[in-house]
Amino acid sequence: MTGRIFSIASNTFRETIRNKILYAIIAFAFFVIGMTFFLADLSVGDFARIIADIGLASIHVFGVIMAIFLGITLISNEVDRKTIYIILSKPVRRHEFIFGKAFGLSITLALTTLAMATVLFAIHMVYKLGGRPEPGIFVASIGIYMELILLTCLATFFSTFTTPVLSGIFTISLFVLGHLTGYFHSIAGQSKVAAVKWGGRALFYLLPNLEVFNWKNDVAYEQLPSASIFGLAVGYLFCYAACILAFSCFLFARKDFK
Amino acid sequence: MRIANTNFACVKKLIVWPLVLLLAALSGVLLSHIVDKRSFLDRQRLASMEASGAGNLMTGISLRPEFALGFRNAMADIVWLQAVQVAGNMKMTHGDYSRLYSLLDVATNFDPRFDVPYLLGGLILGESPDHGAEALRILDRGSAQFPDDWQYPFYKGYTLYFNIGDYAAAGEEMARASRLPGSSPYLPSLASRMLAEGNEPETAIRLLASIIEKETDDSRRLALERRMREVLVERDLQMLERAVEAYHKATGAKPLQLRDLVVAGILPVIPVEPNGGNYILEQGGGVRSDQVARRLHVLQKKR
């Protein structure tokens, strides 16, 4: 079973890494990250902070674009090209197909995130005013990458039952809501209306909490997440992504391709 | 036929190239007009936004940083860069200072740990005679965020002294700064001089000189040096006005020009305006600098 998942994953990786639009997004990301070098000059004091903050925000934004753009077309491309019939006619189970696809895209995103983080690390290191090697850039990028994996799983989930455009809209909505769950929790805590209280709490636990992976705001203060925070975030990602992929497999297993 | 063709080519050269140059020049002129018009419209739009409160959307978002979608620091940096552009204006207006305050407020809401906007922003806001309260508010927020940092009470004392003119409160803040770890040993004497000598320009110049000498941050030193020039101008204006009064008492007439004070032997020389401008004698006997729009009233003696 693992071998079949790996072969689908490696195929997906090869397919996504050859995507020309991916290169266009990466090129633009490098350009924006490179521009932080000049943007920092506009500041007064704390110059390197501008490079780290804006650079990490760029990695985040472009990573999300890549994850959503590639994630929503993972299944639909196979259906459109009718290659799904060939794959599923072989001894490949549907859940193996879903896991393989998500895993393959995760490898692509790992590579692109690493490339962007390395460029940012280099720019931060060589900057003339207060530049230094900042390992926090890589730690924050790991957090961003974890968020991208979750978004990939969500995009895969939506693409099992709806069109790419709707999958994109749903995933972007969950990206926005995923950063607002703390707000729902505080509303639930403050409200005296039982429905709002319980509804807010339900949303807090049901929606993906993407803020648990957000460590980029601490890089400027050289405050890396502790091992326990890092471990809890990995555990949360594993559990939530497994649930989403399980739902995706469930829906995909019921899909009729005849 | 050939001659006609050659003539036509010459005429073409004579007409086409000047025409191209003319069009290029015209496009440049039009562009500069568009830029002027648009910057005027932008200023009007900003003023109307400030008046209607519509520009407060960003403030609203910054008060609930969850809505920054995880980009709190990046948003704080972008707003801070905007604030730097506003503060970089050589001739800041009242509206510029108000806009600077709201930008500093937003930047520090997004990222309360960002220390530069509190200190530098507070210092620059304190340059405006009408924004002393806002400067103190920004410095107070910084002080609440970094209670052990001596620089916040220090710059509060500075603002209270030079902007508000509350020498007692300024001295108390300086004394508070002197009790915090890392503060300079010269602060206790600074505090006592502020309390004792109040609005003497010479005292202010000595205080500023010692502050500038110890300041390590280039941007803050620039702001302090600007203040130093204002204090020097105020000292000179007070001295010139006293000389005009002395001239009036001695001769029974007002001097026609400042040079008359030197000729009458009241002053050995007319002081040099520190901003590179000139001191001008006004009709009523008052003196002003052609480089400074508003005098530093906190250093004027109450009559």
Domain boundaries, chain A: 2-179+214-253
Pair B208, B296: CB distance under 8 Å: no
Give the residue from B73, B108, B218 with the most A CB atoms within 10 Å of its CB, the best one to mutate.
Answer: B73
Longest Cα–Cα distance of chain A, Å, equals 64
Query: Nearest residue of B to residue A218 by CA position?
Result: B73
Longest Cα–Cα distance of chain B, Å, equals 99
Tell me, yes or no, if B76 comes closer than 8 A to chain A by beta carbon.
yes
Question: Which DSSP string do the residues of A64-83 spell out, in sequence order?
Answer: HHHHHHHHHTHHHHHHHTTH
Which run of H or of E encompasses A150?
Answer: helix A136-159
The answer to whether the Cβ–Cβ distance between A45 and B69 falls below 8 Å is no
The answer to whether the Cβ–Cβ distance between A45 and B85 falls below 8 Å is no
| Distances from the Cα of A35 to the Cα of A39, A56, A61, A117, A206, angstroms | 6, 13, 15, 14, 38
Q: What are the residue ranges in chain A where pLDDT is below 70? A: 1, 129-130, 257-258
**Residue B303 pLDDT:** 43
SS3 content of chain A, % helix, strand, coil (to 5): 80, 0, 20
The answer to whether the Cβ–Cβ distance between B111 and A217 falls below 8 Å is yes
**Residue B196 pLDDT:** 60
HSE (side-chain half, CA atoms, 13 Å) at B101:
21
The answer to whether the Cβ–Cβ distance between A179 and B66 falls below 8 Å is yes
| Distances from the Cα of A225 to the Cα of A90, A214, A231, B74, B259, angstroms | 45, 10, 10, 19, 70
Query: Nearest residue of B to residue A50 by CA position?
Result: B77
B70 closest CB neighbour out of A39, A183, A214: A214
Burial of B65 (0-12, 13-18, 19+ CB in 10 A): buried
- Report chain A residues whose CB lies below 8 A from the CB of B104: none
**Residue B4 pLDDT:** 61
Tokens read off for A216: 């980029």
| Distances from the Cα of A222 to the Cα of A35, A133, A139, A145, B182, angstroms | 23, 11, 11, 19, 22
The answer to whether the Cβ–Cβ distance between A53 and B67 falls below 8 Å is no
A217 closest CB neighbour out of B72, B120, B219: B72
**Residue B2 pLDDT:** 58
Q: What are the residue ranges in chain B where pLDDT is below 50? A: 51-54, 302-303
- Report chain A residues whose CB lies below 8 A from the CB of B73: 49, 53, 57, 216-217, 220
**Residue B37 pLDDT:** 66
User: Considering the entire predicted model, what is its pTM?
Assistant: 0.74
The answer to whether the Cβ–Cβ distance between A57 and B74 falls below 8 Å is yes
Tokens read off for A177: 């809501």
Chain A residues with a Cβ under 8 Å from any Cβ in chain B: 39, 42-46, 49-50, 53-54, 56-57, 60, 175-176, 179-180, 182-183, 210-211, 214, 216-217, 220-221
Write phi, then psi, for B289 (nearest 5 degrees). -100, 140
- Report chain B residues whose CB lies below 8 A from the CB of A49: 73, 77, 114
Give B184's DSSP letter: -
Give the residue from B62, B75, B79, B80 with the most A CB atoms within 10 Å of its CB, the best one to mutate.
Answer: B80
**Residue B56 pLDDT:** 65
Pair B204, B167: CB distance under 8 Å: no
Q: How far apart are CA A30 and CA A90, in angstroms?
A: 41
Distance from CA of A146 to the nearest CA of B (A): 14
Q: How far apart are CA B212 and CA B291, in angstroms?
A: 22
Q: How far apart are CA B259 and CA B270, in angstroms?
A: 7
